[in-house]
Structure formats: structure tokens, C-alpha cells
Amino acid sequence: MTNTTTLLAWRNIWRHPRRTLLTIAAMVFADVLLIFMLGLQLGQYRMMIDNSLAIFTGQMQVQADGYNDEPYMYRTIPAADALAEDIRARTQLEAVATRGYGFALVSSETRTLGAQISGVDPQFEPRVSTLPGLIKQGRYLDGKADNEIVIGSTLARNLRIEPGDELTILGSGRDGSMAATVTPVVGIYESGNRDMDRMMLSMPLDTFRDVFSMGDTAHSIVIGGERERADRIATGAQAALADKDSLVLLDWETLMPGLKQAIQADFTSAWFMYAVLIILVAFGMLNTMLMSVLERTHEFGILLALGVGHGKLGRMIVTESAVLATTGMLIGILIGAVVVGYYLVNGFTYPGMEAMGERFNIPSVLRPEVSLRSLLPGPLAVFLATMLASLYPILHMRKLRPTEALQAV
């Protein structure tokens, strides 16, 4: 493609300034919309993932093989603390915490309910979970006392207890033996997650091990850290598991399949909308290019008569489409970047957002993601679709004979 071709193409597309502007405007409209919506979506997903993982799950976990699918008490990690220490050393990450989980009947003076008990390491737990920071009454486990417990707000209400009251815990241990203890409640947390607030209580891991006959084992080693570094952390953790066949490292997608699929479902339905939008813009481009080719039939006839080949004419039309589509894409990306940039600074919210936010662990003000991942796919899809659309006029032109072309006015 020579400069002259581009120049010619540029001149040609400005023969009808209004038409060209409308065509570009349609592309820019679609680009900006796609950038905005995609940025918002990605921003929202990131928050959903980050917030969901941060509360309790962590970026990844080491578990005994099979525990994730069927969490039986006896599927444990042997010598869990040593392994956790090994992982900390290998990944250079402090955010590695050991946990044990169990189910028990929990009784206050007046009530008895079933609850999920997690034994946590008070020293490291705050580094992998935001739950310790969500205490609304009393305090979190401080590691000084062995025998204390924090509890979800709904569960506390249903048990009619406050910090300072004692709970009787009755369950069965790892070996099937009776597990029982009486523990004072020191704090009540409110995570905003319904199940966690309704079902869960936490006690120091050491106490948990005593009560549930766990020895030095645990059910999971939770690894936190930033998601951007997840690959490197995983490599380190995997190395620590090298000689331990019965243990597996699970990423968040495996730990929270619902979250992953919810995002996928949302993404799929969003792309349906985007596709319709892109197709409509492509049709606009198709129309414009077809018009521009048809109205030049006579002109093409002269060129053909002069001995310019069909191939060259085709290239000229492709160049015109490319110039048009590229212009649209560049302006679209520019304006799109400004729009998402604005909302990145000022935040974006819509009515009903709060209820959604509560359900999906996201704040009620969204900040769109501004990255190549959010800026480029939409405009590129529009570009490709419009280029594809301009093939039809070329095919049409290819069938043109000089004589009939010259007869056209």
C-alpha cells in the first residue's frame, strides 16, 4: 500500500463528509459503549473476586486430595504447621495460614444450633482473611488465650449471646470420638456474607486441635497475597508439596466454582448484547461502503477501461474501509479512555446497585478497569466486523464489466 493509495482513499471517504462522519460516529458510539461496559464489568468482576476471596477463601489453598469435594474430618494435612512454614519460606509470603474445619452443635444457655467451626491461627489468619477486621462487637482472637471464640452476627443473635457469654460446643472429632468444650465468646463479626454470618464461628487452631483430636494436622493451608503474583506464589507452594502425593494445591476457581461461573454467565450474556451492537455497526459500514462503491460505478468503469485491474480497485476499496475503520477505532478508544478514566476517578453507581453489591460482595460504587484488556477488545471487534462488512462491496465490484459500468450514471 503506497502513500498515494492512502491519500486517494482519504480523499474518497471525504466525498460525502456527512456520511463519513455518521459512519465514524456509529463506530465511535459502539467503541465507547463497549469500552465503558467492558471496563465496568471487569472492574466489577475484579472486586467480586477480590472481595470474595479476601473474606475467607484466600487466593489458593493446600488441602488433602478430595477434601474440597467431600470435606470429611479425616481428610487432613499431616504436620501442617511445618508445611505452612515451608511455604512461607519458599514463597517469601507471610500470608499463609493453617486452618481446621468442623461441624458441631453449639449451645448457649437458651438455644442450641448447628454451626461450622473453623480453627484458625491467630497470628497469620489476619493476613489471609479480612474477617478479623470485620468485628463489630468485642475483639478478634488475640492469640494470648487458648480458649476463646468469635462468632457470626446472625448466629450470635439466634443463640441470644453477647461477648462474654459462654458457649458449649459438642461435635465429633477426627477419629469419631466425642468432641466437647465450653468456650467464652470474645467477639462478634459481621461479614455481610449471609452464610458466614449465620453459620460460622472461629477458635484458635490449637484449641480446635485439642477438641477435635486433630493432633498436628489441619484441613487447609490458606495462601493469600496479590492476585497478580498468584502464578509465582503457586510455583513456590507447589515446590513445597513436591514429595507429598496426598496433598493438592487448589486455585480460587476450584475453591469457588460458583464465583467463576457467575462471572462467566454474566460475561456470556453481556457478549450477546455486544454482538448485536457490533453487527448493527457493521451493517452501517456495509451500507456506507456499498454506497460509495455503487455511486462510483461509472468512475470505476473509466478506470477499468483505462486498464486498472480489478485487484487494484479492490485494494483501493479495502484501503478506504481500513482508513475509515481505523479512524473510528482511534477516536473511539480515545473517547472511551476518557470516559472510563472519568469514572475511574469519580466512581460509577446505578440504582439498585446496593442490593446487588450486598449479594455479590462488592461496594456500591464501581470503578471501571482501565487497561488494554478493557480498552482494546471492543474497538478491535468493531474494527474487524466493519472490515468484514466491506468485503461485500468488493465482491460486488469484482463482477463489474467496463461496458456496463460506463453505462451507469
Name which of 79 and 113 has its Cβ closer to other proteins.
Answer: 113
Tell which positions 126-145 bind other proteins, by CB under 8 A. none
Name the burial class of residue 398, with classes exposed (0-12), middle (13-18) and buried (19+) by CB atoms within 10 angstroms of its CB. Answer: exposed
Are 150 and 162 in contact by the 8 Å Cβ rule? The answer is no
For residues 26 and 329, which CB has a smaller minimum distance to other proteins in the complex?
26
Residues that bind other proteins (rule: CB under 8 A) add up to a total of 66
- Judged by CB under 8 A, the stretch of 13-21, 78-86, 214-222, 223-231 that binds other proteins is 13-21
Per CB under 8 A, 113 contacts other proteins: yes
Which residues are CB-contacts of 48 (< 8 A; sequence separation ≥ 6)? 259, 262, 263, 360, 361, 362
Of 281-310, which residues contact other proteins (CB under 8 A)? 281, 283-284, 286-288, 290-291, 294-295
CA distances from 137 to 140, 150, 164, 197 (A): 9, 10, 11, 13
Q: State yes or no: residue 264 binds other proteins (CB under 8 A).
A: yes
179, 171 contact by CB (below 8 A) = yes
- CA trace torsion 267, 270, 275, 277 (10° rounding): -150
- Structural element, H or E, at residue 256: none
- Sequence-ordered list of residues with C-beta below 8 angstroms from that of 218, at least 6 positions apart, any chain: 76, 77, 80, 81, 98, 99, 100, 119, 205
Q: How far is the CB of 142 from other proteins (least distance, A)?
A: 28
Q: How far is the CB of 140 from other proteins (least distance, A)?
A: 24
> Does the protein bind other proteins through residue 351 (CB under 8 A)?
yes
Among 7, 239, 265, 365, binds other proteins (CB under 8 A): 265
Contact by Cβ (8 Å): 141, 150: yes
Cell numbers standing for residue 201: 464461628
Write down how long the chain is: 409
* 382 alpha carbon, distance to own chain's centre: 23
**Is 147 in a helix, a strand, or coil?**
coil
Which of these segments, 81-89, 145-153, 182-190, 257-265, binds other proteins (CB under 8 A)?
Answer: 257-265
Residue 153: CB atoms within 10 Å? 19
Build a one-symbol-per-residue string for 194-213: x at contacts with other proteins by CB under 8 A, - elsewhere.
Answer: -----x--------------
Under the criterion CB under 8 A, does residue 355 sit at the interface with other proteins? yes
* C-beta of 258 vs 311, nearer to other proteins: 258
Q: Which of 92, 177, 246, 269 binds other proteins (CB under 8 A)?
A: 269
Name residue 167's beta-bridge partners: 183
Of these, 350, 398, 403, 404, which contacts other proteins (CB under 8 A)? 350
Q: Which of 26, 32, 169, 221 binds other proteins (CB under 8 A)?
A: 26
CB-nearer residue toward other proteins: 345 or 409: 409
Q: Which residues bind other proteins (CB under 8 A)?
A: 16, 18-19, 22-23, 25-26, 29-30, 33, 70, 72, 103-105, 109-116, 157-158, 160, 171-172, 199, 257-266, 268-269, 272-273, 276-277, 279-281, 283-284, 286-288, 290-291, 294-295, 350-352, 354-356, 358-359, 396
